[in-house]
Structure 1
């Protein structure tokens, strides 16, 4: 009871601190809220002293931010979130409508993600059900490419090709279920690819557990064994699934912008840009509450699936060294990426030639040229230096932070839920308000939220590993907490979390690209990958190479990260690539194998 009370107070304190920081946003950024509100209301009106004084009087800005925050919190207890500073309308009805839109979109996105994850894991499930899961595993290049798809680029292509040119589905607006399909595909394919890879990483360990061997020996159908193996792996995946739920609701700002969807993420972003504090605070609080709800549901489902085993310490260790990945594929992908960078570095990424605008790929310009006649290969190669180095540095920092905080779940759990509820764009605005705009702002914003999934994954694996039978036996032999942490827990938890971090490396690059796409990252003429996609997006129909080149390099980075992640192992290396699962015993020995402890 005391633990639950402490957790609740910790969550409430984090939410209060976040809402307070948002209430101080105009004063932290040293901007006059009256000027920002005037520009949002009427950009053509001159900010005369009389007009600004009238706005300050209307909004009661003269009493300072804490007075405004107190009034807003006082009305919140009565269900009144105040009135918008821009439109003057009540915040609560508009916010509930935006939340309903986001929840509907989220449900469709989760369906797309579930189907994508099932297709990625289908081969492993089939092999495990037929006791053929051994040797080299699938390379995962397709899932890597899907995970590395830029959401805003996928949304733009689907809206242009499927929605406008072919006319199969509506591309803009929000008027019914048909309008959810294209944005759901844009968001669900990358999310499903990441979840599918995480699940595919756990399934071989489940099929190798004693219960699976005994079930097969007793002659249970392969489908039944596969279903229980899937149930065995889901608890480790549920925390990250809950994080995806919140991320899809608040972090799908770019997709909502492209498809003109009045969702909660877009509403919160517009309020942040206009410094409409009542809407911004209410939208962020709704995201935080949604994150807490998703975390509670994930925790409850985990308890329902393997609760007694967690309580009794009767779980086998699910995390064993995976088979060695295909060694040639990471070398091939790395060589291709290195070749692209090496060929492009000698070229000038800023050289303009208006006589060669949007030229198709040729020997002189292998990736073609953009709308200003600049060589796309040169811009991709020079942008790779900044994007790749920054993404790798952020991944290393977030991995260390995630593992360290994941080892303290009581401290990090509520913090993870709150951080995940914040769209990276909103975090970028807060970072800009505190430290100012600059080249480091996108990196700080992405690093501030990218550690949360790794911490949640670490806590989930740690909770299950602590209930493993071998840990119970080691503890009975007198091993202390530090010995268990160093020799049992960390060797089992760190490798899968490291593979998870490598899987998210393209996503980190995409987050930086998304901020640049929204104008919060690098600024022209910098050859940053996100900026390249944003600049060339209007010409995707006339010159698709200008968009496909940086997108293909992102996909190549994803394939390299996933295949290289297969080499992150725990325990001693084996001479052979993998040990196949033992064959099914003959019928006359099944009962003996099944009853042997």
Structure 2
């Protein structure tokens, strides 16, 4: 995140002397992003398909157990289409994806799409709430710290803020989850430590997921806000004797948010992936706990389906971040040449 990123966003605040690209730039921008998204999605789908076939051993034998009869194993392989040529299996896999068919679980014999559909809402709720909490804490905190430490003031407060934010960002979600569960769940008994039953059950897992991203975003938000506060258009606003509230909220904050929201979107991808560990600590009935159970049971079709969902989610988030950045900073639509 550089000062140039913030300065490029200045036209959004109405800074004179900057040229904003016309709407005609959007079709080319949309085409580039669509092609990139489609290519990345194809790589993801192909890698997920090959994952099962590159794993040593027979997934059907592993799922049914060593005591299963050869006839049962052969029948199950034929049912799943694993005896077909690899290219034919790949085409069948692509056709199934187009119709929403992610395959069939080798353990429960349930459609993978049904398993994912039952667990996905819990994961989305957890990741979405953690993201909202991280933004709600980081943006005001970063803005306030920038205002308090502007111009080299309050060195002690800056040192404390930096040290604490670095420490919180460095703590792994798994370790933080265990610590929160032990202190606030086991010792104090304030919140439940397992399950998804009522608002109180969301508190600890959401905290475990949001603390690290909030610390990172607060630091970045402070740095970007300091850069914006030193820009010419902010000095002009101060020279006009505008109220401090208008200077920060109307002029400085929209420009500082460009880099902060961009990083926030990228952190959302990591946050979604982080649900895997947090869900297992708090026995959260989402995709994270399901994929670990499926790996232990060698239920590879379910693992494959969940990997696809996680990967597609990351790609969609990155696409939305690109679009949001282009809206906040229209000049970004032509920076790629």
Once the two structures are overlaid, the 10-residue window that deviates more, 186-195 or 56-65, is: 56-65
Counterparts in 2 of 1:6 and 1:142: CA distance versus 1, 3 Å: closer
Deviation at 1:122, TM superposition (A): 4.8
2:63 alignment partner in structure 1:
37
**Higher Cα Rg: structure 1 or 2?**
1
Deviation at 1:272, TM superposition (A): 4.8
2:230 alignment partner in structure 1:
208
Residue of structure 2 aligned with 1:252, choices 248, 262, 275: 275
2:181 alignment partner in structure 1:
159
Counterparts in 2 of 1:253 and 1:195: CA distance versus 1, 3 Å: same
Deviation at 1:65, TM superposition (A): 4.1
Deviation at 1:147, TM superposition (A): 0.7
Separation (CA, whole Å) in 1 of partners of 2:298 and 2:34: 29
Contact 1:125 1:226 in 2 (8 A): no
1:55 alignment partner in structure 2:
76
Higher RCO structure, 1 or 2 (CA under 8 Å, sep 6+): 2
Counterparts in 2 of 1:246 and 1:238: CA distance versus 1, 3 Å: same
Equivalences for residues 80-95 of structure 1 within 5 A: 80-95=101-116
Deviation at 1:160, TM superposition (A): 2.2
Deviation at 1:10, TM superposition (A): 3.5
3-state SS, counterpart of residue 94 of structure 1: helix
1:98 alignment partner in structure 2:
119
Separation (CA, whole Å) in 2 of partners of 1:178 and 1:66: 49
Counterparts in 2 of 1:17 and 1:297: CA distance versus 1, 3 Å: closer
Is 1:295 matched up with 2:318? Answer: yes
Contact 1:35 1:52 in 2 (8 A): yes
Is 1:144 matched up with 2:166? Answer: yes
2:52 alignment partner in structure 1:
26
Contact 2:130 2:210 in 1 (8 A): yes
Separation (CA, whole Å) in 2 of partners of 1:310 and 1:58: 50
Counterparts in 2 of 1:61 and 1:281: CA distance versus 1, 3 Å: same
Deviation at 1:409, TM superposition (A): 6.1
Contact 1:117 1:193 in 2 (8 A): yes
Residue of structure 2 aligned with 1:196, choices 215, 218, 227: 218
Deviations, residues 400-448 of structure 1 (Å, cap 9, x unaligned): xxxxxxxx969xxxxxxxxxxxxxxxxxxxxxxxxxxxxxxxxxxxxxx
Separation (CA, whole Å) in 2 of partners of 1:208 and 1:223: 16
Equivalences for residues 341-490 of structure 1 within 5 A: none
Equivalences for residues 231-246 of structure 1 within 5 A: 231-246=254-269
Separation (CA, whole Å) in 2 of partners of 1:15 and 1:7: 12
Equivalences for residues 575-594 of structure 1 within 5 A: none
Once the two structures are overlaid, the 10-residue window that deviates more, 135-144 or 202-211, is: 135-144
3-state SS, counterpart of residue 76 of structure 2: helix
Give the unaligned 5+ runs of structure 2.
1-26
Separation (CA, whole Å) in 2 of partners of 1:5 and 1:218: 43
CA RMSD of aligned residues (A): 2.8
Separation (CA, whole Å) in 2 of partners of 1:284 and 1:8: 21
Structure with a larger share of its residues in helix: 2
Deviation at 1:259, TM superposition (A): 0.7
Separation (CA, whole Å) in 2 of partners of 1:3 and 1:108: 31
Aligned length: 306
Separation (CA, whole Å) in 2 of partners of 1:223 and 1:118: 15
1:186 alignment partner in structure 2:
208
Give the unaligned 5+ runs of structure 1.
40-44, 314-407, 411-597
Q: TM-score, normalised by structure 1?
A: 0.47
Counterparts in 2 of 1:27 and 1:304: CA distance versus 1, 3 Å: closer
Contact 2:165 2:216 in 1 (8 A): yes
